[in-house]
Amino acid sequence: MKTQPGWALPNLHEAQKRTQKEVTIEKSLFQIPSEVRTLGQGKKYYLRTYGCQANERDSETLAGILEELMFTPVEHPEQADLILLNTCAIRKNAEDKVLGEIGSLKRLKRSNPDLIFGLCGCMAQEEDVVQVLLEKYRHVNLIFGTHNLHRLPELLYEVMVGHKRSVEVLSKEGDVIENLPVRRFGKHKAWVNIMYGCDKFCTYCIVPYTRGKERSRAMADVLQEIRQLKQDGYKEITLLGQNVNSYGKDLHIEGGFAKLLEETAKIGIERIRFTTSHPWDFSDEMIDVIARYDNIMPFIHLPVQSGDDEILKIMGRRYTNAQYLTLFHKIKERMPECAISTDIIVGFPNESEGQFQHTLDLVKECQFDNAFTFIYSPREGTPAARMADSVSLEVKQRRLAELNACWNQYAHVKNEAYLGKVVKVLVDGASKKKANVWSGYTETNKLVNFTGEHVTAGDIVKVKITACKTFSLDGEQIL
Ligand code: SAH
Ligand code: SF4
Ligand code: F3S
């Protein structure tokens, strides 16, 4: 592969390094050079987001930057002068979807040779993916990673004015960059980053390599953003991090996440959510704060991954089946109404039938409200990807189906408990299919479709539940 001078390519070896270096918080890094300020005048951009909420929130920053450069958004790639795909690398099928999309959008470059085709996000942090893009997808002329969103103006300038292919992916650990522009996609619900990166290094997971070292935002910056959101009329915020429980450890913030949650609750925004919590460092103080404040929602996403101790150990999850169950029941004892969801991986290398059975047993005991279940996908560069695997894809698929049938059954039972009850729903919007039908979420994160008059998106309304399904509830508004 020929590389151009000035290109910065991802380097897996570098990405694996972690140092004790203090986190740098940069407040002045984002500046738009004067020659770039009108770069997007008369030009349209199309932005598509894959993956988790971290990417959703990054896309809001990308949109904010592009709109400061005077680009305007469009709904269809056919209308765009700039196509940007913000990608996810968590499993192979996530990547295949993106590569397929890049291939199918190539036709647009034929009819519009000036089209800028950009790829960013977690796939851009992967060495092998960038090699493939550079060699086989020559119509992609802009590639940048998760650590340098703030460099988008300069990189675009290189492509648009310098007529160069621009590639800049940093493999260093990453700083915290404040004061980036943002265009929020929602009017009533907002994402708030509280930390970036992940240092847990679960052996199957690519995120510590694509998102860099775990680093927290200063508490004052997070709280200021939330105060502003409240002033702007937002009803719900979700505090985001790969593992929110370890918030503040790097900055030696006393009280850590429990303290941040409490300070957030005191601001008085109606609904506070957070994701994701790793079971390993879920403190008693956190449970206490969640239970004490009505505006911290009684819903916790608590990924277990497996119910088998040996598999959990090889995964590097740092807890046992018994420790997970102890935490689960502690939460339920203090907050019986609290809904709990989870993530589970089946078919981790060499998982035996007996080990899979331990996962089913755990699901039967916990009766989760919701679960996200996956077949293990080997990720280049992670320790698990180097393990030999004796389990066939057929067996993995059968286990996934069995697991899904199992948790679905309990999710339905959980929903049945809502029949006849009155719940508070934050309205997302009107149904596209039926008049006077609205949808939104309960405090426990259940999707509700309900009939009602005089309803507006963003309202919190009372709804009586009249029917239940596995993945949603039906109801009618109570005045
Ligand atoms: N930080 C979160 C997880 C983020 S990734 C946490 O630890 O809870 C979301 C989910 O994707 C994980 O919980 C896991 O279930 C799944 N996942 C991650 N890597 C995977 C892989 N290589 N194959 C299959 N599923 C994976
Ligand atoms: Fe991945 Fe584990 Fe970090 Fe979650 S905690 S992002 S699963 S390494
Ligand atoms: Fe995907 Fe990156 Fe999120 S790999 S799940 S977009 S952190």
Share of the chain above pLDDT 90, in %: 87
Tokens describing residue 340: 């709990």
* Main-chain phi, psi angles of 321, to 5 degrees: -55, -45
Question: Cβ-count burial of 334 within 10 angstroms (0-12 exposed, 13-18 middle, 19+ buried)?
Answer: middle
DSSP 8: B
Indicate if ligand 2 lies below 6 Å from the C-beta of 201. Answer: yes
Locate the ligand 2 atom nearest the alpha carbon of residue 211 and give its number: 6
pLDDT number for residue 431: 82
- CATH architecture entry for 176-416: Alpha-Beta Horseshoe (3.80)
Residue 88 marked ligand-binding: yes
Q: Is 105 in the pocket of ligand 2 (CB under 6 A)?
A: no
What is the distance in A from the centroid of ligand 3 to the CA of 87? Answer: 8
Nearest Cα to Cα of residue 145 among 130, 162, 164? 130
Residue nearest to atom 3 of ligand 3 (CA): 52
Give me 350's structure tokens: 């060499």
Task: Give the single-character DSSP code of 38.
Answer: T
d(CA 313, CA 203) in angstroms, rounded, equals 10
For residue range 84-107, what is the model confidence (pLDDT) as tens digits? Answer: 999 999 999 999 999 999 999 999
In degrees and rounded to multiples of 5, residue 477 shows phi and psi of -65, 140
pLDDT the model gives residue 16: 81
CB 318 within 8 A of CB 201: no
∠ at Cα 197 (194, 198), nearest 5°?
110
Domains 176-416 and 422-477 share a fold: no
pTM: 0.96
State the ligand closest to the CA atom of 359.
Answer: 1
Residue that is written with structure tokens 């929130």 in the block: 57
Ligand 2 pocket test: pick from 146, 204, 278 the residue with the most ligand atoms within 8 Å of its Cβ.
Answer: 278
CA–centroid distance, 286 to ligand 2, in Å, is: 20
CB of 325 within 8 A of CB of 304? Answer: no
3-state secondary structure 394-435: HHHHHHHHHHHHHHHHHHHHHHHCCCCCEEEEEEEEECCCCC
SS3 of 89-110: the string is CCCHHHHHHHHHHHHHHHHHHH
CA dist., res. 233 & res. 259, Å (int): 24
Three-state DSSP state, 3: coil
Q: Which atom of ligand 3 is nearest to the CA of 50?
A: 6
CB atoms within 10 A of CB 71: 24
Residue 24 in tokens: 């740098």
DSSP per-residue codes, 108-136: HHHH-TT-EEEEEEGGGG-HHHHHHHHHH
Name the residue with the closest Cα to ligand 2, atom 5.
200
Whose C-alpha lies nearest to ligand 1, atom 7? 278
Least distant ligand from the CA of 372: 1
3-state secondary structure 167-227: EECCCCCCCEECCCCCCCCCCCEEEEECEECCCCCCCCCCHHHHHCCCEECCHHHHHHHHH
Other C-beta atoms closer than 10 Å to the C-beta of 433 total: 7
Single out the residue of 120, 298, 293, 108 nearest to residue 211, CA to CA.
Answer: 120
Q: Per DSSP, which regions of 318-472 are E strands?
A: 339-346, 370-375, 422-430, 437-441, 447-451, 460-468
Instruction: Tell the residue nearest (CA) to atom 18 of ligand 1.
Output: 205
Q: Is 122 annotated as a binding residue?
A: yes
Structure tokens of 20?
A: 């004790």
Question: Is the separation of the CB atoms in 316 and 201 below 8 Å?
Answer: yes
- Residue among 96, 115, 102, 91 at smallest CA distance from 43: 115
Q: Which CATH number fits domain 422-477: 3.40.50, 1.20.5, 3.30.70, 2.40.50?
A: 2.40.50
Vertex 286: Cα angle to 305 and 360 (nearest 5): 20
pLDDT tens string 366-425: 999 999 999 999 999 999 999 999 999 999 999 999 999 999 999 999 999 999 999 999
Q: Which atom of ligand 3 is nearest to the CA of 90?
A: 4
Q: Which residues of the chain have pLDDT under 70?
A: 1-3, 173
Distance of CA 193 to the CA centre of its chain: 10
Considering just the CA atoms, what is the radius of gyration of the chain in Å?
23
Angle at 174 between CA 84 and CA 342, to 5 degrees: 75
Pocket test for ligand 2, best of 205, 244, 318 (most atoms within 8 A of CB): 205
Tens digits of residue pLDDT in 146-182: 999 999 999 999 999 999 999 999 887 678 899 899 9
Ligand 1-lining residues (CB < 6 angstroms):
90-91, 204-205, 207, 242-243, 276, 278, 303, 305, 343, 345, 374, 376-377, 379
pLDDT of residue 175: 81
Domain-by-domain residue ranges, the chain?
Answer: 12-168, 176-416, 422-477
Fold (CATH) for 12-168:
Rossmann fold (3.40.50)
Helix (H, G, I), strand (E, B), or coil: what is residue 473? Answer: strand
Distance 215 CA to ligand 1 centre (A): 19
Element (H, E) at 12: helix 12-15
Nearest to 238 by CA among 177, 299, 176: 299
